[in-house]
Structure 1
């Protein structure tokens, strides 16, 4: 199974973001012929202000972004893990991942469970819960013989979610993110490797990169694939771009046989 990551520098120009996402997806599919392509968190719009964020959300499945990328997945014949975007549903707005199968049908939707409410060293505050409602469901889907689990950004700090995904049969866990530069430089790789080792899965962490909001916010980037033993097997360069890795399900099985963690849990 081949997995391609699409690293972006999304901003408040939704049209530009969608064009870049489509172009990078088309390019990496043409060159790498992956089975699964993954975009980052808030790939469609990464701006400031509750009103702007809500205004750029969409109702599924009728929204234009939903329809555009469903059609793209079908045209390219790939499974497309659509990072995240804002889903309007009733009175709520969710930070939601969509996954389209090679026929363009929706095969999974995950709403972010852990919302990022934090004061970052240096004075910047983030209050995702002021804008976004909390999800509740643990979600997996299939790509061929592989079971893929869904997580988003701040979820990476909560290993209980990753264990739940492992218990649902995940061989691969995908984490689109817009991880801050301040925390990312110290925690991003450490957390990704820890979650992969604990769950004995491939962890595919796909990030936003560079400056946002006129330079007031920065994302760490460093999109990466970590194998079940904790080794990095692929990473994006700085800036917008792509990287591809091969997911070896036999490697997952071998690691789980060597260290049978799933049968050793006590708590």
Structure 2
């Protein structure tokens, strides 16, 4: 399966960001990709109030995304925000096109280093796997990558490929951690990991994984560190970008997933304690 990752830099106007999405969809389709992955917060970057830009998962932004994906004949994953309970929002991945219409609410919120993303973001509750051309594709959002049990749960539900869409905060060691975590999670679930983040924007805040301040705003809200990558089921980095906006197009050999799982049966060999 040919896949594309678009390392973009979102703005604060969802309509303008849809124009960016349209260009990336066109480029991915022209490259022959069947699946396009865009970052977390594609619809609107963090650091601004998110309540006003949150839309239902069947709202205008999602419908336009579906139109773009269907017109190109591919499946697209893009980060957005949808209304949550109690005035909070949900950090949502929308999956549209190619006969797929699904969404995933970020499960693990960034409540760490004195930061509380859960103040303004409502967590999702369920792992989500979608079918793209007969291939199981699991969904995860940035801070989720620190929790191996989510990715193994996705593999248990049929995922051979896991998308990790991100908008991480810059800071010492963040790129090294990002690369390490993506490769480790690929090994944990013996699946391909498509780790796609927002392009580097020079921030230095502690926040990562879509964390935001009050109503989504604040000096520690993340933007991106770049370094989108594709890791194989054996943890090998197949291709990677630097910090600047860019695109990756990678062909996934799904036979490699079965081969690695035969040689390294960590999924079937797990024990409960």
Calculate the TM-score normalised by the size of structure 1.
0.89
Map 1:69-84; keep pairs closer than 5 Å.
Answer: 69-82=65-78, 84=79
Instruction: State the secondary structure of the residue aligned to 1:160.
Output: helix
* Aligned-residue offset at 1:16: 2.7
Match of 1:131 among 117, 120, 127: 120
Asked if the contact 1:54/1:131 (under 8 Å) is kept, the reply is no
Structure 1 residue ranges (4+ consecutive) displaced by more than 3 angstroms after TM superposition: 89-92, 212-218
Unpaired stretches in structure 1, ≥5 consecutive residues = 120-124
CA distance in 2 between partners of 1:179 and 1:135 (Å): 19
Partner of 1:122: none
Asked if the contact 2:148/2:185 (under 8 Å) is kept, the reply is yes
Asked if the contact 1:6/1:25 (under 8 Å) is kept, the reply is no
Go from structure 1 to structure 2 and tell me whether the alpha carbon gap of 1:199 and 1:143 turns closer, same or farther (over 3 Å shift): same
Instruction: State the secondary structure of the residue aligned to 2:112.
Output: strand
More strand, by proportion: 1
Q: 2:55 matched to 1:58?
A: yes
* Aligned-residue offset at 1:101: 2.7
Match of 2:238 among 212, 215, 233: 233
Partner of 2:106: 112
CA distance in 2 between partners of 1:178 and 1:54 (Å): 18
Partner of 2:161: 172
Unpaired stretches in structure 2, ≥5 consecutive residues = 206-218
Partner of 2:212: none
Asked if the contact 1:221/1:238 (under 8 Å) is kept, the reply is yes
Partner of 2:7: 7
Go from structure 1 to structure 2 and tell me whether the alpha carbon gap of 1:74 and 1:212 turns closer, same or farther (over 3 Å shift): farther
CA distance in 2 between partners of 1:27 and 1:44 (Å): 18
Match of 2:143 among 154, 173, 178: 154
Instruction: State the secondary structure of the residue aligned to 1:205.
Output: strand
* Aligned-residue offset at 1:218: 4.8
Asked if the contact 2:170/2:202 (under 8 Å) is kept, the reply is no
Go from structure 1 to structure 2 and tell me whether the alpha carbon gap of 1:237 and 1:212 turns closer, same or farther (over 3 Å shift): closer
What CA deviation, in whole Å up to 9, does each residue of 1:40-72 have, x standing for no partner? 0001111424xx2110111221x2211111100
Asked if the contact 1:11/1:213 (under 8 Å) is kept, the reply is no
Partner of 2:270: 265
* Aligned-residue offset at 1:254: 0.6
Instruction: State the secondary structure of the residue aligned to 2:19.
Output: helix
* Aligned-residue offset at 1:90: 5.5
Asked if the contact 2:50/2:89 (under 8 Å) is kept, the reply is no
CA distance in 2 between partners of 1:197 and 1:187 (Å): 15
- Note the aligned Cα RMSD (angstroms): 2.0
Go from structure 1 to structure 2 and tell me whether the alpha carbon gap of 1:143 and 1:7 turns closer, same or farther (over 3 Å shift): same
CA distance in 2 between partners of 1:129 and 1:204 (Å): 26
Q: 2:198 matched to 1:208?
A: yes
Matched length = 255
CA distance in 2 between partners of 1:133 and 1:72 (Å): 28
Go from structure 1 to structure 2 and tell me whether the alpha carbon gap of 1:195 and 1:233 turns closer, same or farther (over 3 Å shift): same
Go from structure 1 to structure 2 and tell me whether the alpha carbon gap of 1:4 and 1:231 turns closer, same or farther (over 3 Å shift): same
Partner of 2:21: 21
